[in-house]
Structure 1
Amino acid sequence: MQIRSSRAATKSFNFGLKPAPAWMAILGFTLFSALCLVVKAGLLRIAFPGGAFLVGLFLYGRYPLLYLGFTWWIAFLSPWVRRMVDYSSGWVDPSTILLAPFLVMLVTLATLVRSLPRATRQGGLPFILAFVGVIYGFLVGLIKYPPTAVVVPMLNWFTPILFGFHLFVNWRSYPSYRQSLERIFLWGVLVSGAYGVYQYLVAPQWDRFWLVNSKAIAFGTPEPLGIRVFSIMNSPGPFATVMLAGLMLLLSGKGKLRFFASGVGYLSFLLSLVRSAWLGWGVAMLTFLPSLKPKLQMRLVVTIVVMALCIIPLANLDPFADTIGARLQSLTNTKGDVSYSQRSEGYAATLSLALSQFLGQGLGFVLEGTSLGSNDSGILSMFFSLGWFGTIPYLGGIILLLFSLFQSVDIRADTFASAARAISLGVFAQIGLGSVTLALSGVVFWGFAGMALAASQYHRYQRLTALQSG
């Protein structure tokens, strides 16, 4: 009787969520964080990154698929949790809460250690080259700056590559990883897109509080219809990059929910006003469509037409039309565009200086004395931080990675793999306008490049196995 009662209690707790131990850890962490937000939010400044790391460590070792989902959602939600904590307990900058995604991804260091000896032979050379470039910049930074000034930049550069490498190395699990990522980004686009529209229309108090204290003038004004949408993420740029990836995946997915997700997703994507991401989406689309077989191309065109019928009327409604229209016009008319002028002036003032960096300034370097911010150009960031010594292996690894993806003929019938490849190129195409290979944007770039390379490896293995058996 006691055994049956225990089993019944466990079954009722599961709610169909299996495996139970993994979901107990995830839900326990979620409920604890929610309780802290209500009772004592400041406690999360330590408990959130620490708890996320412990849950990530547990999932990595026993439930790799749930580890994948947990990692992406921690990356999506950590900035929003930070804003809620600061709104409740006072402004703190920098915030330890933002370390949570890095700590969760740092767990995959075990994958690197375990797989490094054979990684080069299996196609992992691009990741190894990128690691070499970043480690060089890290060592230079340690020589020039205090360790505390180098740690966070190192995490920004290193962990996205580490995560992408982890996805690539586990190519044998590609089908289950693919299915998991499709589900993650369907709900990611739906949740962050819907919140983005809400943020634009309402301007919640915690978002206003963050805008005022962070002095992020470029993100709009802290009032309804005045915010450049960044949704649950930290700024419009990373948010737009995540949406670019999610919206591309929705084109290759199935189910009616993706059309609703596309509606709020594209609307918030446009309200982010990130022109570089819009151009990146265009590059991704031009890459994606020709890479498919004719039958898949026709299905994709039908999907695009249906989505357009949902999105265009929304974008032309009064609260959105003026904001989006003015930004779209600036793509062809740069006169009077302050952002464009600042970038042009910044490049003119710093490009020659960046290209003269033989040894580099190391990770932790902050670009000052120019209208161009440290994160406004991935090219400048690379040369200043890594110098020629570090940039050659780092950029060489990226170019070799993209070249490898476009050499593969085995993924033509796999719409997800074709979308992943297009996403990687669409993100990288923005490198002159932002540090898109770092932090959350970098997780998107390296993560989907890793998945596309894993798909190529998996399909090649399947083809060779079929030939041998035949």
Structure 2
Amino acid sequence: MHFSNSSMKSFNLGLQPPQAWIAILGFVLFTALCIVVHTSNILRLLFPAGSFAVGFFLYLRHPEIYIGFTFWMWFLTPWVRRLVDYQNGWQDPSVVLLAPYLVTFITIITFLRYFPLVYRQTGLPFVLAVTGIFYGFLVGLINLPPASVIVSLLNWLTPVLFGFHLFVNWPDYPSYRQIIERTFLWGALVTGAYGVWQYLVAPEWDRFWLVNMANQGLITFGQPEPLAIRVFSTMNANGPFAIVMMAALLLLFNTPGILRFPASAVGYLSFLLSLTRAAWLGWFAGVLIFVTSVKPRIQIRLIMTILIMVLCVLPLTTMEPFHQAINSRFQTFSSAGNDISYNERSERYEQSMNSALSEVVGKGLGGAGSHLDSAILDTLFSLGWIGTSLYWGGLLLLMLGTLHAVSFDPFVSAARAISIGVFIQLVFGSVMLEVSGVILWGFLGIAMAARQYYQHRAKFYL
């Protein structure tokens, strides 16, 4: 039987290219089947292995889809881990959580291929950061067990590699911009809706995870019961989820289509229910930067969009059972002196600062222990003054570079706003790692790619 091209396009339901989606949907269906029939124990090895195989295939054959797949792996893997642990028993550390790191680490190929060509140019900041991380890796191998150092290396290195990958592929900026907008639109809708449901219902697998985290002394995620969770949605904690949602909500200001309004409604509500003040401040700073960095014509459109979204979200936040939790958290902004969490963080910061400032060589990757209350402390302990100078030097050069990126492209303005919104949260925690780091370095990378893309076009048309 012969099928016409139009018939095949209808059959594919717009999922193009079909080979990429066959690989992705096959992986998703296999994972779902293992969970449904309660054979998910095999996913502890097959999920990271399968995600790496799919990611590698997409990297080689469909690089635009690879970008979206990588973000989704960061969005959803912690949720898959919770389902697997709920069915098979608590396991920590969990091999399942390696999946997004392995998928992102594929971009080491890009770095090894291109850094000799770009390190003297605008790619130098990425090379400086990688050099600082590699320094910390070598120090860690001398002082610490190799396994912990390698895990820490993945944590530090993968976000920088991903940002570099987006940057050097600047000729593909338009298609990368499109896939990122689409990914974060659906990401806001899916993770936002799940976050609201999580707050109202407290699913059993999420309660199971919270109980086990409390047994390890981590009680900052709320109580394992409905209306008492600090929403973390499909991710590992409320802080990383809030940063992802902050990025998505800033992108939604300029994302076309009617779907952005329900995505914004559940996105803002779950964002507020995360009760993450640092991310709220980052969003506010991002909005100010976004609105003031675009042309007046676009400013008017953005302001109108913001007003419409406020009208959609505000009634939800004033209703119970949401109002009390959100309002009480907002009140802590005006009473920081009486905030136990704020006071404890300030005390720990003061106690650690003198010790951190004396770290010339550093303890190496993995030597700082659990994440500290400041990225400054974390980098000083892990990388010492030597590695910190390289890492922060590269990061600051990129931040300055985004300020010179074009302003007529609203996506670039949004990427700049997201980068700065995450950057200011470095004071409150190590948001340059894990999914937060992928957001920070990824949007720095795509902003620099846009700058390179438009500079090349300007030279071409002159």
Counterpart in 2 of 1:370?
A: none
Distance 1:13 1:86, change over 3 A: farther
For 1:302 and 1:9, locate their aligned partners in 2 and report how far apart those are by CA, in whole Å. Answer: 41
Deviation at 1:375, TM superposition (A): 3.8
Q: How many residues align?
A: 458
1:384 aligns with 2:386: no
* Residue ranges of structure 2 left out of the alignment (5+ in a row): none
Letter in 2 for 1:146: P
Counterpart in 1 of 2:258?
A: 256
Q: Secondary structure at the match of 2:431?
A: coil
Deviation at 1:404, TM superposition (A): 1.1
1:237 aligns with 2:235: no
Distance 1:223 1:450, change over 3 A: same
Structure 1 segments, 4+ long, off by >6 Å, are 5-13
Q: Secondary structure at the match of 1:217?
A: coil
RMSD: 1.6
Letter in 1 for 2:71: W
**Kept after mapping to 1: 8 A contact 2:371/2:378:** yes
1:401 aligns with 2:398: yes
**Kept after mapping to 1: 8 A contact 2:139/2:365:** yes
Deviation at 1:113, TM superposition (A): 1.2
Counterpart in 2 of 1:53?
A: 52
Letter in 2 for 1:459: Y
Letter in 2 for 1:67: Y
Deviation at 1:344, TM superposition (A): 0.9
Q: Secondary structure at the match of 1:252?
A: coil
Counterpart in 1 of 2:407?
A: 412
For 2:195 and 2:344, locate their aligned partners in 1 and report how far apart those are by CA, in whole Å. Answer: 27
Counterpart in 1 of 2:192?
A: 193
**Kept after mapping to 1: 8 A contact 2:349/2:373:** no
For 2:16 and 2:168, locate their aligned partners in 1 and report how far apart those are by CA, in whole Å. Answer: 25
**Kept after mapping to 1: 8 A contact 2:368/2:378:** no
Counterpart in 2 of 1:150?
A: 149
Counterpart in 1 of 2:33?
A: 35
For 2:395 and 2:321, locate their aligned partners in 1 and report how far apart those are by CA, in whole Å. Answer: 41
Distance 1:22 1:134, change over 3 A: same
* Residue ranges of structure 1 left out of the alignment (5+ in a row): 368-372
Counterpart in 1 of 2:437?
A: 442
**Identity over the aligned pairs, expressed in percent?**
57
For 1:445 and 1:81, locate their aligned partners in 2 and report how far apart those are by CA, in whole Å. Answer: 24
1:139 aligns with 2:138: yes
For 1:10 and 1:435, locate their aligned partners in 2 and report how far apart those are by CA, in whole Å. Answer: 47
Deviation at 1:143, TM superposition (A): 0.7
Counterpart in 1 of 2:334?
A: 332
Alignment match of 2:419 (pick from 396, 414, 424): 424
Letter in 1 for 2:82: R
Superposition pairs of residues 289-368 of structure 1, within 5 angstroms: 289-367=291-369
1:332-363 CA-to-partner distances (Å, cap 9, x unmatched) read 21133121011011011111111110000111
1:15-60 CA-to-partner distances (Å, cap 9, x unmatched) read 4422222111111111111111123111100000000000000010
1:365-404 CA-to-partner distances (Å, cap 9, x unmatched) read 144xxxxx62421111000000001000100001111111
Most deviating of 69-78 and 332-341: 332-341
Alignment match of 1:271 (pick from 270, 273, 276): 273
For 2:8 and 2:142, locate their aligned partners in 1 and report how far apart those are by CA, in whole Å. Answer: 54
Q: Secondary structure at the match of 2:322?
A: helix
Distance 1:258 1:5, change over 3 A: closer
Q: Secondary structure at the match of 2:337?
A: coil
Q: Secondary structure at the match of 1:330?
A: helix
Most deviating of 434-443 and 113-122: 113-122
For 1:251 and 1:63, locate their aligned partners in 2 and report how far apart those are by CA, in whole Å. Answer: 28
Counterpart in 1 of 2:182?
A: 183
Distance 1:297 1:377, change over 3 A: same
Alignment match of 2:220 (pick from 218, 236, 255): 218
**Kept after mapping to 1: 8 A contact 2:290/2:413:** yes
Deviation at 1:13, TM superposition (A): 6.4
1:253-291 CA-to-partner distances (Å, cap 9, x unmatched) read 111111111111011101001101011111111211111
Deviation at 1:9, TM superposition (A): 11
Superposition pairs of residues 9-158 of structure 1, within 5 angstroms: 14-39=12-37, 40-158=39-157
Deviation at 1:10, TM superposition (A): 7.4
Q: Secondary structure at the match of 2:220?
A: helix
Q: TM-score, normalised by structure 1?
A: 0.95
Letter in 1 for 2:242: A
